Amino acid sequence: MPTLLVGPTRQNLLLSRLGDLLQSRPGVGGLELVTFDRAAERAQKGGFELVFVILASDCVAESLEVVRALRATGTHVLVVGPATDPKLILGAMQAGGDRFLDQDELEPALDSELTRLNLTSGAEARQLIGVLSASGGCGASTIAVNLAVVLAKKYGRCNLIDLNVNKADLAPLLDLKPQYTLSNLCQNEDRLDRTMYEKLLTIHPSGTALLAGPRFHEEARALTIYGVEQAVSLACEAFSQVVVDLEDCIHDEQVAVLGRADRILLVCRLDFTAIRNARRAMDHLAARGVPRDRIEVVMNHTGLPNELSVDDAEMALGVKVTHLIPHAPGEMGWATNVGIPAALKDDRAPVVQSIAKLVGLDAPVPPAPDLRARFGAFYRERVLPWVRTLRARFNSPAPVPAPPLAAETKVCYEPISPPEPAADSRACAF
pLDDT per position as a tens digit, 302-316 = 999 999 999 999 999
Residue 430: which pLDDT band, with cuts at 50, 70 and 90? very low
Residue 354: which pLDDT band, with cuts at 50, 70 and 90? very high
Instruction: List the domain range (segments joined by +) for residue 175.
Output: 127-359
Q: Select from 120, 138, 170 the last residue of a domain.
A: 120
- CATH code for the domain of 261: 3.40.50.300
Does residue 29 carry a pLDDT above 80? Answer: no
Residue 77: which pLDDT band, with cuts at 50, 70 and 90? confident
| 148/25 same-domain check | no
| 139/111 same-domain check | no
Does residue 231 fall inside a structural domain?
yes
The Cα 117–Cα 59 span in angstroms is 29
Does residue 97 fall inside a structural domain?
yes
Does residue 71 fall inside a structural domain?
yes
The Cα 53–Cα 15 span in angstroms is 9
Query: Taking a C-beta distance cutoff of 8 angstroms, is the pair 192, 122 a contact?
Result: no
Query: Looking at residues 72-87, what average pLDDT do you find?
Result: 80
When comparing pLDDT for 426 and 37, which is higher? Answer: 37
Q: What pLDDT is recorded for position 418?
A: 63
Q: What is the distance between the terminal CA atoms of the chain, rounded to a whole angstrom?
A: 150
Query: Looking at residues 168-193, what average pLDDT do you find?
Result: 91
- CATH code for the domain of 52: 3.40.50.2300
Q: What pLDDT is recorded for position 173?
A: 94
Residue 68: which pLDDT band, with cuts at 50, 70 and 90? confident
Query: Looking at residues 73-101, what average pLDDT do you find?
Result: 81
In the chain, the number of structural domains is: 2
| 155/116 same-domain check | no
Task: Measure the CA angle with vertex 49, ends 48 and 50; round to 5°.
Answer: 95
| 214/152 same-domain check | yes
Q: What pLDDT is recorded for position 400?
A: 61
| 86/181 same-domain check | no
pLDDT digits (tens, 9 = 90+) for 101-160: 888 888 888 877 777 665 444 445 678 999 999 998 899 999 999 999 999 988 888 999
Of 256, 287, 299, 272, give the one whose Cα is nearest residue 133: 299
Does residue 12 carry a pLDDT above 50? Answer: yes
| 58/142 same-domain check | no
Does residue 429 carry a pLDDT above 50? Answer: no
Residue 325's SS3 state is: strand
Does residue 426 fall inside a structural domain?
no
Lowest mean pLDDT among 60-74, 226-240, 245-259: 60-74
Does residue 55 carry a pLDDT above 90? Answer: no
| 93/136 same-domain check | no
| 38/99 same-domain check | yes
| 167/279 same-domain check | yes
DSSP 237: H
Does residue 386 fall inside a structural domain?
no
pLDDT digits (tens, 9 = 90+) for 89-100: 888 888 888 888
Q: What pLDDT is recorded for position 404?
A: 61
| 175/208 same-domain check | yes
Lowest mean pLDDT among 64-73, 370-379, 395-404, 417-426: 417-426
Does residue 17 fall inside a structural domain?
yes
When comparing pLDDT for 352 and 374, which is higher? Answer: 352
Query: Looking at residues 215-241, what average pLDDT do you find?
Result: 88
| 160/305 same-domain check | yes
Q: Select from 306, 330, 359 the last residue of a domain.
A: 359
The Cα 72–Cα 84 span in angstroms is 27
| 238/303 same-domain check | yes
Query: Taking a C-beta distance cutoff of 8 angstroms, is the pair 248, 254 a contact?
Result: yes
Query: Looking at residues 414-428, what average pLDDT do you find?
Result: 56
Q: Select from 305, 328, 359 the last residue of a domain.
A: 359
pLDDT digits (tens, 9 = 90+) for 207-223: 999 999 998 888 888 88
Does residue 413 fall inside a structural domain?
no
Does residue 422 fall inside a structural domain?
no
The Cα 95–Cα 79 span in angstroms is 10
Residue 251's SS3 state is: coil
Question: What is the 3-class SS of 162-210, one letter each residue?
Answer: EECCCCCCHHHHCCCCCCCEHHHHHHCHHHCCHHHHHHCCEECCCCEEE
Give the amino acid at 54: I
Q: What pLDDT is recorded for position 123?
A: 42
Nearby residues of 255 by Cβ (< 8 Å), 6 or more positions away: 90, 94, 249, 285, 288, 290
Residue 81's SS3 state is: strand
